[in-house]
């Protein structure tokens, strides 16, 4: 296990983010890690509504960062991670825009893959964000999916 | 007095982002829901949904969670971020 | 399932690569994908030998790209992927250098995570690369690890 | 005649990257190994390792694979890329 405290960066912002500089930050002063895994989530043209033209992301500001920190800390307890960087955007987005970014680094690839996947699975079910799609036939709130709830099962955590 | 926050569909359907509730504390989240429905019968359908989520002081909690004076209580639909 | 042919890019090269431009290529003309997962492998200071100062990567040129294409095609048959980009470096590398990059995009995150992980697991066990570490006490060939062999078990493929 | 390639430790230990083997085809990979060991007894330890890998025409194969004239045969230790 990694004995040093992992370096954690969590941001909730309206602005777009730059994956290249996030990736550079993962590599800076990092000679111990063999594996970086990152996930990037984008606005799709066809989601639950057809012909999506935009997406509005509402959140619960006082709770959002606290919730994300809790999820990342769970991941750090479970896997030996050196660095975690997470960005989630809020506000008005458009098709192909970046929504969310999670990067983790570890000595070994299994830990990096699992931790990144775990963080996304829990973010989807526990972090207070809500998406409203703008479509060619009007606005609609995105429905939570049963498969996202089931995605948590693989992590064997007793989580309502 | 407890300050209750609503988000997403609840905020839209209730036409407000928050409400002050006059209720004796400590009480449970379930009792807060009942009291809100008592005051606003139109909110029953939403607040009675089994999927509705509640956070107290920004942590997710279940219906039997104890709420104290000055706690921040929030109700919202299942989250859909990421 | 994705009916269009996935777009695949595979490169074996001595030169370093630029993750930012790879990521940009994943996003270009891509309004259907909600998820991009990428893996990046780096030279670690402490691997099987302590005090690693460099790494030489030998390969079997005639076989390398063929092997990587086979692995990527297996992933594309198994998951609905839109784009896959893979780069593996050969030759002399140094600590913290990038060795390998795999990026996949899909409509959904589960497919993207699984496919990226699958490609890395099979690349580790099936693609003809060999690492020789330069350490402070001399050179040594890196030993294949039993855990890399076991990593294939999760994919339920009958693979000797 | 079959051209046999060696990589990584095998290439270093055998002191050569390839060898021409005079063997009747078709034959199996196992027969090629035996013939190589017959010609170069010092190679036995490496070629008899159960972990040694073989590719014929750039595809991984097992010991019972049939090799034909003009096939490209390669022996190498377990791969360690990635």
SS3 string of chain C?
CCCCCCEEEEEEECCCCCHHHHHHHHHCCCCCCCEEEEEEEECCCCCCCCCEEEEEEEECHHHHHHHHHHHHHHHHHHCCEEEEEEEEECEEEECCCEEEEEEEEECCHHHHHHHHHHHHHHHHHHCCEEEEEEECCEEEECCCCHHHHHHHHHHCCCCC
- For residue B9, give the 3-state DSSP assignment: helix
| Candidates A3, A28, A30, A44, partner chain C, best to mutate (most C CBs within 10 A) | A44
The residue-averaged pLDDT of C19-30 equals: 95
Maximum distance among all alpha carbons in chain D? Answer: 38
The residue-averaged pLDDT of D37-44 equals: 98
In 3D space, the residue among D33, D55, D56, D35 whose CA is nearest the CA of residue D46 turns out to be D33
Give me the residue label for tokens 């209720």.
Answer: B23
Q: Is the pLDDT of residue C159 over 60?
A: no
Q: Is the pLDDT of residue C1 over 80?
A: no
Mean of all residue pLDDT scores within chain D: 97
Split at pLDDT 50, 70, 90, the class of C49 is: low
Helix H or strand E encompassing B4: strand B2-6
Residue burial C66-88, b: 16+ Cβ < 10 Å; e: rest: bbbeebbebbbeebbbbbbbbbb
Nearest to A34 among C33, C37, C41 (CB): C41
For residue B26, is the peptide bond before it cis, meaning its omega torsion is within 30 degrees of 0? yes
pLDDT recorded at residue A2: 43
Mean of all residue pLDDT scores within chain B: 97
| Order of all β-strands in the sheet with C138-141 | C91-94, C52-59, C129-135, C138-141
- Please answer whether residues A104 and A114 qualify as being in contact, where contact means their C-beta atoms are separated by less than 8 angstroms: no
Cβ contact, residue pair C58, D9, below 8 Å:
no
The residue-averaged pLDDT of C146-155 equals: 86
Chain C residues whose CB is inside 8 A of the A113 CB are 39, 113, 116-117, 120
Cβ contact, residue pair B7, A60, below 8 Å:
yes
pLDDT recorded at residue C160: 44
Q: If you ran DSSP here, which 8-state letter would residue D26 be given?
A: S
Give me the residue label for tokens 């991941």.
Answer: A75
pLDDT recorded at residue D71: 96
Cβ contact, residue pair C36, A39, below 8 Å:
yes
Q: If you ran DSSP here, which 8-state letter would residue D41 be given?
A: G
Chain A residues whose CB is inside 8 A of the C38 CB are 37-38, 40
Give the C-alpha separation, D39 to D21, whole Å: 9
Percent of chain C with pLDDT over 70: 95
- For C60-86, the pLDDT digits (tens) are 999 999 999 999 999 999 999 999 999
pLDDT recorded at residue A41: 97
pLDDT recorded at residue C158: 62
Give me the residue label for tokens 């470096």.
Answer: C89
Q: If you ran DSSP here, which 8-state letter would residue A32 be given?
A: S
Judged by a CB distance cut-off of 8 A, whether residue A69 touches chain B is no
Helical spans, DSSP H, in chain B? 8-14, 29-39, 44-47
| Candidates C38, C54, C121, partner chain A, best to mutate (most A CBs within 10 A) | C38
Residue burial C51-63, b: 16+ Cβ < 10 Å; e: rest: ebeebebbbbeeb
In this prediction, does ipTM exceed 0.85? Answer: yes
Phi, psi of D14, rounded to the nearest 5 degrees: -85, -15
Show which of residues 33-72 on chain B sit within 8 Å of chain A, judged by CB atoms: 51, 55, 58-60, 62, 72
Q: Is the pLDDT of residue D17 over 80?
A: yes
**Other residues' Cβ atoms within 10 Å of the Cβ of residue B6:** 23
Maximum distance among all alpha carbons in chain B? Answer: 38
Residue C30 has, within 13 A of its CA and on its CB side, a CA count of: 24
* pLDDT tens across the length of chain A (160 residues): 445 789 999 999 999 999 999 999 999 998 889 999 999 999 998 777 678 889 999 999 999 999 999 999 999 999 999 999 999 999 999 999 999 999 999 999 999 999 999 999 999 999 999 999 998 888 999 999 888 888 888 998 765 4
């Amino acid at each position: 296990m990694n004995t040093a405290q992992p370096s954690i960066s969590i941001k909730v912002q309206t602005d777009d983010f730059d994956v290249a500089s996030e990736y550079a930050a993962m590599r800076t002063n990092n000679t111990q890690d063999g594996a970086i895994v990152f996930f990037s989530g984008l606005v799709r043209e066809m989601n639950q509504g057809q012909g999506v033209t935009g997406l509005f992301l509402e959140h619960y500001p006082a709770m959002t960062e606290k919730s994300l920190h809790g999820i990342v800390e769970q991941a750090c307890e479970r896997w030996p991670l050196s660095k975690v960087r997470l960005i989630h955007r809020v506000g008005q987005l458009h098709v192909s825009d970046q929504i969310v970014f999670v990067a983790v680094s570890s000595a070994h690839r299994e830990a990096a893959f699992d931790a990144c996947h775990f963080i996304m699975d829990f973010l989807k079910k526990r972090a207070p964000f809500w998406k409203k799609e703008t479509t060619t036939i009007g606005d609609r709130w995105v429905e939570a999916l049963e498969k996202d709830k089931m995605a948590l099962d693989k992590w064997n955590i007793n989580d309502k | 007095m407890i300050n209750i926050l609503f988000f997403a569909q609840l905020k839209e359907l209730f036409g407000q982002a928050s409400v002050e509730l006059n209720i004796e504390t400590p009480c449970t989240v379930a009792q807060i829901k009942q009291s809100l429905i008592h005051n606003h019968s139109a909110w029953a359908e939403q607040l009675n949904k089994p999927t509705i989520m509640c956070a107290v002081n920004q942590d997710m909690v279940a219906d039997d969670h104890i709420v104290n004076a000055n706690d921040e209580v929030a109700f919202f639909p299942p989250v859909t971020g990421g």
